[in-house]
Amino acid sequence: MDIKDVKIAEAGRYLEWGKITAEKLEQACEAVYGIVELTPLVIVYNPKDCAIVKGSKANFSVRVLDDTDVSYQWQYLSTAQGANWTNSGASSGKTEDLSFNTSNTSYNGYKYRCILTKGDNQLITEPVTLTVTNS
């Protein structure tokens, strides 16, 4: 078992705790107010900075408490763009995981974030940085 396995197990434990807490919140709202509240949009795992060697795959992930009816839009900000975020054109750009190959170091310094939408609720993750080196 390596550190990655431990981190995954730990994240799963917190995700399960979050689901149980959300279910109890929904039950309390129904009992007290006679209504069923939808589980709020809560991020339980934020994307992390990524450092890779050119030619490798970059991976970013986000997880929410209850992913029912959640839409994802990954965006990037290049070092030359200023403050204008661009929607990802990667095939995984509308899922909870963003993965793409980097054939050169031109992606070095790019920022990435994800816009999560569920009903009328919207959250934007904090930007993370991709570092791409030659070796």
pLDDT at 126 exceeding the cut of 90: yes
Banded pLDDT at 131 (limits 50, 70, 90): very high
In whole angstroms, give the CA distance from residue 100 to residue 117: 23
In whole angstroms, give the CA distance from residue 42 to residue 60: 18
Token pair for 87: 């929607």
3-state SS class at 45: strand
* pLDDT tens digits along 88-112: 988 888 999 999 999 889 999 999 9
pLDDT at 122 exceeding the cut of 70: yes
Banded pLDDT at 6 (limits 50, 70, 90): very low
pLDDT at 1 exceeding the cut of 60: no
Phi, psi of 85 (to 5 degrees): -80, 145
| Cβ 123 vs Cβ 89: under 8 Å | no
Banded pLDDT at 67 (limits 50, 70, 90): confident
pTM of the prediction? 0.72
pLDDT at 78 exceeding the cut of 70: yes
